[in-house]
Amino acid sequence: MKTRSFDVVVAGGGPAGVAAAVSASRSGARVLLVEREAGLGGNVRAAKVHSICGLYRCGAGPGAEPLQTGLAMEFARRLVASGGACGPRRFGRLDVLLQEPEAFAHLCEDWVTEAKTIEVMRNARVTGGEVEGRRVKSLHLTTQAGRVTIEAAAFVEATGDGNLAAAVSLSAESALRQELQRPAYIFGLQPVASAALAPAARLAWSALLVAAVRDGRLGAGALGAAVRPTCRDGMVRVTLDLAAGGGDYDPCDEVQVRRLTVEARESAEMLTDFLRREAAGFEKAEGCSWPERIGIRESRRVMGRHVITANEVLSGVVPEDTVCFSFWPLEWHEAGAAMRLVYPDNGAACGVPLRALRSQDADNVFLAGRCFSATHEAQAALRVIGTSMATGQAAGQAAACLSRGVVVDAGAIREACAR
């Protein structure tokens, strides 16, 4: 089996992994970014997630007030400048940046290419590894060309699903299957008249959907369909939360994910036909921008030296070893219930301590993105893209320090991530 060596290996090329790789590279590390799919962008690219949450503080005044600094904001600014994002837009007390998933994925590729010291291995998945005491020595990758062993001084777990942790048996947790956040299917529709998104029009077509579900013309999933504007005139994106809850749902079972994707596409096509026939403003709408797969909100969470709780998120706790910040309400997509938000007290941001980004079991594994160390409840807020990129930057910085033999100091990482 071939063996190669890098300073830092980042597993997972979603928002967190891309930020981690760029961060480690800019700190001077030779980085390998491993992605199981053909392209970068994670849930954004494959599942068409189309807004960046967690970039701004809780909306109190008239304008959006940035919370994030560093790479998350650099990425957001570039996306806006390229025409791939618009906003921020205010929804209730929340400011979000609307973005086009294709542009997001494109910028991920550019960002990583510009970094010069990042090699990307695509269609390659972390499937195993070797551990020596409290260190991961190497990872085994399964690629089209066969198995490869990769050694590194430090690793970043950014697979979203905790797959690196599972491959080398690091501690991880998962909520009960019936309690996991529901997955969703996101697709585009165009052309749709802008008047169809006005409050009175929304009420009218929502009532039509309720009636159609009641008399069996549409499945229950249509009830919670969220229809949101995009940066493109005449195009909307529809999010269908899937009734995949219950005892069987396993987000790490790829056969099941594929089956749910096929079923969800059928529901999406039925909904599109229904809206075209019955709802004002949708008469000419066609489905577009179909996702490769359903979006996974929650699966494994990897245990760090600290596990962030919902109470810490809601009270805006800022521990001494904070390396970055998060603001977003707990956002619940539960089986059999409508989406609900639970806001932090006074709209406060909380701190993410370095301990929550460091594996409990392995001293050279750092955690980033939606699988970093938090409880099921806290993950409901911490999983958003702004926070994922901020934790990615911090984890990448920490991994680069370790690979140089420099003490991993929270204060220095926080300062570097603020620039």
Ligand X SMILES: Cc1cc2nc3c(=O)[nH]c(=O)nc-3n(C[C@H](O)[C@H](O)[C@H](O)COP(=O)(O)OP(=O)(O)OC[C@H]3O[C@@H](n4cnc5c(N)ncnc54)[C@H](O)[C@@H]3O)c2cc1C
Q: What are the residues binding ligand X (CB under 6 A)?
A: 11-17, 34-37, 42-44, 47, 49, 51-54, 125-126, 158-161, 163, 184, 186, 295-297, 369-370, 383-385, 388
Q: How far is the CB of 406 from ligand X (least distance, A)?
A: 25
The pair of structure tokens assigned to 228 is 């949101």
CB nearer ligand X, residue 27 or residue 51: 51
Burial class, 123, CB count within 10 angstroms (exposed 0-12 / middle 13-18 / buried 19+): middle
CA dihedral 352, 319, 350, 135 (to 10 degrees): 10
Count, residues in the chain: 419
Q: How far is the CB of 291 from ligand X (least distance, A)?
A: 9
First to last CA, the chain: 41
Q: How far is the CB of 389 from ligand X (least distance, A)?
A: 8
CB nearer ligand X, residue 13 or residue 353: 13
Cα 308–Cα 313–Cα 315 angle in degrees, nearest 5: 125
For residue 235, give the amino acid letter.
Answer: M
Q: Produce one character per residue of 37-69: b if its CB has 16 or more CB atoms within 10 Å, e if not.
A: bebbbbbbbbbbbbbbbbbbbbbeeeebeebbe
Q: How far is the CB of 214 from ligand X (least distance, A)?
A: 25
CB nearer ligand X, residue 220 or residue 280: 220
CB nearer ligand X, residue 31 or residue 52: 52
Q: How far is the CB of 320 from ligand X (least distance, A)?
A: 25
Q: How far is the CB of 28 from ligand X (least distance, A)?
A: 23
CB nearer ligand X, residue 208 or residue 249: 249
In Å, what is the CA distance from 188 to each residue of 21, 200, 207, 371, 394?
Answer: 30, 22, 21, 28, 34
Distance CA 387, CA 52 (A): 10
CB nearer ligand X, residue 24 or residue 208: 24
For residue 279, give the nearest of 198, 348, 359 by alpha carbon. Answer: 198
Extended strands (E) in 167-298: 172-174, 184-190, 226-229, 236-241, 286-288
In Å, what is the CA distance from 191 to each residue of 221, 222, 230, 273, 284?
Answer: 23, 20, 12, 13, 6
Q: How far is the CB of 390 from ligand X (least distance, A)?
A: 11
The pair of structure tokens assigned to 290 is 């179909």
CB nearer ligand X, residue 15 or residue 188: 15
Q: How far is the CB of 47 from ligand X (least distance, A)?
A: 6
For residue 112, give the nearest of 33, 12, 9, 30 by alpha carbon. Answer: 33
CB nearer ligand X, residue 68 or residue 208: 68
CB nearer ligand X, residue 37 or residue 208: 37
Q: How far is the CB of 94 from ligand X (least distance, A)?
A: 10
